[in-house]
Amino acid sequence: MQVNESAENYLETIYRLSKTHPVVRSVDVAEETGFKKSSVSVAMKNLREKEHITVTKEGFIYLTDSGKAIAEMIYERHELLTAWLTSLGVDEDIASEDACRLEHVLSKESFEAIKKHIQK
């Protein structure tokens, strides 16, 4: 289930949008990320080819089981790391930005250790 940081970010964005939108479209992803529609279109094609998403003929994007698993893992990391950094006194915006970088490079072992330490 190895994917690059960009793909992880797109999957997480689709996941977050699906929690608040009845359907997710490429235009929604572009608006959320601030990327050009053409860049998002290329990314969606790559995610579709890797079978992390499906796209209906109407343009509605759905996560597959593999895409959802990746998105949920990244989302959990982002939320936990942001909350942890904020609790340490880091400004919320900075904490969120730092969490976004950390969520991609932390090993599963290190993340689980942080999670266990925080939840004591």
pLDDT at 3: 80
| Beta-carbon contacts of residue 108 (< 8 Å; ≥ 6 apart) | none
Asked whether residue 74 falls in the same domain as residue 49, the answer is no
Asked whether residue 10 falls in the same domain as residue 53, the answer is yes
Asked whether residue 95 falls in the same domain as residue 59, the answer is no
Asked whether residue 20 falls in the same domain as residue 46, the answer is yes
pLDDT at 120: 77
| pTM of this structure | 0.90
Count of domains forming the chain: 2
Asked whether residue 9 falls in the same domain as residue 52, the answer is yes
CB environment 24-38: b (16+ within 10 A), e (fewer): bbbebbbebeebeee
Give, for 69, the enclosing helix (H) or strand (E): helix 65-87
The CATH number assigned to the domain holding 17 equals 1.10.10.10
Of 61, 113, 62, which is closest to residue 84 (Cα–Cα)? 113
Asked whether residue 77 falls in the same domain as residue 33, the answer is no
Asked whether residue 83 falls in the same domain as residue 98, the answer is yes
Q: How buried is 68 (Cβ within 10 angstroms: 0-12 exposed, 13-18 middle, 19+ buried)?
A: middle
* Per-residue model confidence as pLDDT tens digits over 18-54: 999 999 999 999 999 999 999 999 999 999 999 999 9
Examine the pLDDT at 1 and tell me if it is beyond 60.
no
* Per-residue model confidence as pLDDT tens digits over 81-108: 999 999 999 999 999 999 999 999 999 9
A 10 A CB-CB count for 101 gives 11
For 100, the domain range is: 70-118
Average pLDDT over residues 67-78: 96
Examine the pLDDT at 2 and tell me if it is beyond 90.
no
Examine the pLDDT at 11 and tell me if it is beyond 60.
yes
Domain boundary among 38, 64, 90: 64
Question: Rounded CA gap, 40 and 70, in Å?
Answer: 18
A 10 A CB-CB count for 71 gives 23
The CATH number assigned to the domain holding 87 equals 1.10.60.10
Asked whether residue 59 falls in the same domain as residue 11, the answer is yes
